[in-house]
Structure 1
Amino acid sequence: MSRSFFSPLPLADARHLPKWRQPKTLLFVMAAAMPVAFATWSALLNNFVIEVAQFDGSDIGWLHTVREIPGFLAIGVIALLLIIREQVLGLVSLILLGVATAITGFFPSLGGILVVTMLSSIGFHYYETVNQSLQLQWLSKEEAPKVLGALLATGSAATLVAYGLIMLTWQSFSLSYSTVYMIAGGVTAAVALFAIFAYPQFEAPNPQVKKFVLRRRYWLYYLLQFMAGARRQIFVVFAGFMMVERFGFDVHEVTGLFLINLVANMFFAPLIGRMVSRFGEQKALVIEYVGLIFVFSLYGGIYMFGWGVVLASVLYVIDHLFFAMALAIKTYFQKIADPGDIAPTAAVAFTINHIAAVFLPAALGYLWLQSPGAVFVLAAGMAATSLCLALLIPRHPEKGNETRFSRFVAAVAE
């Protein structure tokens, strides 16, 4: 009988499998499958909720608050790992994401959209929590930055195909939201179901702690995650909403903007991975946060001074590109962590990452109604705070050298 997820296989033995059944290949399969559902949902969302459900800024804020609740509760992954293996949990979560996305178009009301969004969000956030853990367990510290960059590029390529099909077929075939959501979600669910039975259940060499882990020496990583979550909400919730509400972008125009993002990400993400590997996490994050200060300040100027759609579109692409640099936060943690802490800390970090996500979209939704420019000015302040935190990362982080202060504090303590 061939191995399946019912037959655990030590990671060291996986090298004897055909290349397409090895752990690294599974990471690439999942990286390609997830964006088909999630990115399609994102691409259509603003037009769907405005044209079909008549959302305003407050409604979209509440939608994203609901969407982030499962991320805040990602710590529940630790409890689930007591009864189900990480790899299986990740793939089952991916199936839930696909199925929930598939039925989104059939619930064109505020209540219906909130419920379906909650289901898809549980799938997405639990998948992402487990996926991040598996990446750091299955990849060596030396190869992690480069492979993580390649995984980002793979996700962008899969999304590029999905968006390209939307652009080519949306108007030509007069597609409905329900049809596109159903196809995209079905593809993601089908690939995840295939992966459950096609791949063995790989066992990493370091058993994971299956309890809540919150260590003092990880404090900088926790703060970086918190600020990354707050920054992400500004882009996910309001940058795209601005393109539709202020500049009247149609579905194919929003998708076209996303396509530009994807092509840029496919090219730059592997380069960013190599840059992190060569120059270190601190320099990559400093570049990201300095750039974000300028991007968010210029976003605010669009509303305050009436700057045009071309600048908004260019900033949107640059803003999205900076997301790739966030892989430096993952590799920073991999270098400072105890090997057995990766799975539980991934869950804790996802919860921390989503603390701001639970209240920020709804709160800023009300601020948006009064002053959209003020939302982006506030985001520039968040980027400045993140920059200060990034400057505390040492050139060569490791256990015992987690921050620039670690060795000094240890010396004083002695």
Structure 2
Amino acid sequence: MKIIRLEDARHLPLWRRPTSLLFVMAMAMPVAFATWSALLNNFVIEVADFDGSDIGWLHTVREIPGFFAIGVIALIMFIREQVLGLVALAMLGVATAVTAQFPTMGGILTVTMLSSIGFHYYETVNQSLQLQWIEKKHAPQTLGWILSAGSAATLIVYVLIVLTWEGLGLSYSIVYWLSGGFTALVAVFCLLAYPQFEAPHPQTKKMVLRKRYWLYYALQFMSGARRQVFVVFAGFMMVEQFGFAVHEITQLFLLTLVINMVAAPFLGRVVAVFGERRALVFEYAGLCIVFFAYGGIYYFGWGVMLAMALYVVNHIFFSLALAIKTYFQKIADPQDIAPTAAVAFTINHIAAVFLPVLLGLLWLQSPGMVFLLAAGMAVVSLLLSLLIPRHPAPGHETVFERRLLAAAE
């Protein structure tokens, strides 16, 4: 397959350029993953009779490949990042397609593991390629638009589910086959239609752990821990606590996506104008309030409308997480991007290996306490974000370096 240097790619037709490929992948992945997520809670409750503990185990299994995302470093010694990302995307699609063919606890866990390997390896490579292929000055805005494109693809999926699930009497099997098959076909198309793009800085093909990246690692760890509460239990709560049907939970997802489509490019601009520090402080302060309010739903009997509003607001805040990516892009050595993306993805998933199971057991006793723990995690993230300097750069990764430099002068 033809290899083209990144600086020469501007002579290609617009649809074959590196950024265009990032957009295509960003729109293909959610077709499989969003369908899997939208149907999951109803599928496992109706078909496999899952309870809170079972859903915790499912998400623990789902997150194990994320913990081993560091394996990407070994794989890119033998296969180009771009190819690896697309192969992983195809794997996600195929595994999603066959999900409903294994409607037992063991079958669901096995297929979930396979789809998760595809998802997490794709996401690891995708984040690396984004930071390598997008110029720093354009990164926040471009990442915002890529998020919006992914939201648009997810929106289409949700609209189709809402409009056709009851009207056409669709089954889980048909929907999973269509969505997963589409994602796999797009991945194969991208493998064949796009040249291989050569970034200007060859990537280090070994594990990289640098002391000066410690704040980035800490932010990634807390992001992964906090995300587990929302991903695992926010949607599950809507089905278990409020009895949402498939089309109802999908309508909630749909509303969230419409708002995110509009908000994501704007939030990218916010990061570019106000900086990573202020953006993340705002995000984590907001998440503290959101998770405390989630706990109030159980302790004070607050209703379904508040739960729906919190779900939407939570997603909006999560979009600001792109500031963690751009923070790292500003402080990193260019050749560290690929190995550090793999290391960071593993760090992000350390808590994911054990938290869903433990929180699933806690859920059986006190669902509200699960969300209060998440609020505590958001407080820790807020304190960490205050350590980001206003203008991060190599040698100026945290506010501590600035103070040490001032003291030396």
* Structure-1-length-normalised TM-score: 0.98
**Residue 4 of structure 2 is aligned to residue 9 of structure 1:** yes
The whole-number CA distance in structure 1 between the counterparts of 2:131 and 2:353 is 26
**Residue 301 of structure 2 is aligned to residue 306 of structure 1:** yes
**Residue 257 of structure 2 is aligned to residue 257 of structure 1:** no
1:390–1:310 CA distance, 2 compared to 1 (3 A): same
Match of 1:97 among 81, 86, 92: 92
**Residue 150 of structure 2 is aligned to residue 118 of structure 1:** no
The equivalent residue for 2:16 is 21
- More displaced 10-residue stretch of structure 1: 404-413 or 339-348: 404-413
Q: Displacement, 1:343?
A: 0.2
Misfit runs of 4+, over 2 Å: 407-414
The whole-number CA distance in structure 1 between the counterparts of 2:407 and 2:199 is 37
Q: Displacement, 1:305?
A: 1.0
The equivalent residue for 1:350 is 345
The equivalent residue for 2:315 is 320
The equivalent residue for 1:266 is 261
The equivalent residue for 2:169 is 174
The equivalent residue for 1:106 is 101
Match of 1:369 among 351, 364, 369: 364
The equivalent residue for 2:382 is 387
The whole-number CA distance in structure 2 between the counterparts of 1:21 and 1:7 is 13
The whole-number CA distance in structure 2 between the counterparts of 1:279 and 1:309 is 35
Aligned amino acid, residue 141 of structure 1: K
The whole-number CA distance in structure 2 between the counterparts of 1:33 and 1:298 is 34
Q: Displacement, 1:307?
A: 0.8
Aligned amino acid, residue 313 of structure 2: I
The whole-number CA distance in structure 2 between the counterparts of 1:409 and 1:366 is 46
* Counterparts of residues 134-145 of structure 1 (less than 5 Å): 134-145=129-140
**Residue 210 of structure 2 is aligned to residue 215 of structure 1:** yes
Aligned amino acid, residue 256 of structure 2: N
Q: Displacement, 1:408?
A: 2.8
The whole-number CA distance in structure 2 between the counterparts of 1:366 and 1:347 is 30
Aligned amino acid, residue 173 of structure 2: S
The equivalent residue for 1:205 is 200
Aligned amino acid, residue 158 of structure 1: A
The equivalent residue for 1:236 is 231
The whole-number CA distance in structure 2 between the counterparts of 1:395 and 1:327 is 16
Q: Deviations over 1:324-365 (max 9, x none)?
A: 100000000000000000000000000000000110000000
Q: Displacement, 1:7?
A: 1.6
The equivalent residue for 1:3 is none
The whole-number CA distance in structure 2 between the counterparts of 1:116 and 1:343 is 28
Q: Deviations over 1:3-23 (max 9, x none)?
A: xxx221110110110000000
Match of 1:331 among 322, 326, 341: 326
* Counterparts of residues 283-298 of structure 1 (less than 5 Å): 283-298=278-293
Match of 1:41 among 36, 51, 74: 36
Q: Displacement, 1:76?
A: 0.1
| SS of equivalent to 1:142 | helix
Q: Deviations over 1:283-320 (max 9, x none)?
A: 11011101101100010000111111000000011011
Structure 1 segments unaligned to the other structure (5+ residues): 1-5
Aligned residue pairs, count? 409
The whole-number CA distance in structure 2 between the counterparts of 1:160 and 1:334 is 29
Match of 1:190 among 185, 208, 228: 185
Q: Displacement, 1:407?
A: 2.9
Q: Displacement, 1:322?
A: 1.2
The equivalent residue for 1:161 is 156
| SS of equivalent to 1:108 | coil
CA-based RMSD: 0.9
Aligned amino acid, residue 316 of structure 2: L
* Structure-2-length-normalised TM-score: 0.99
The whole-number CA distance in structure 1 between the counterparts of 2:39 and 2:316 is 20
Q: Displacement, 1:187?
A: 0.6
The equivalent residue for 2:48 is 53
The whole-number CA distance in structure 2 between the counterparts of 1:388 and 1:31 is 31
* Counterparts of residues 402-413 of structure 1 (less than 5 Å): 402-409=397-404
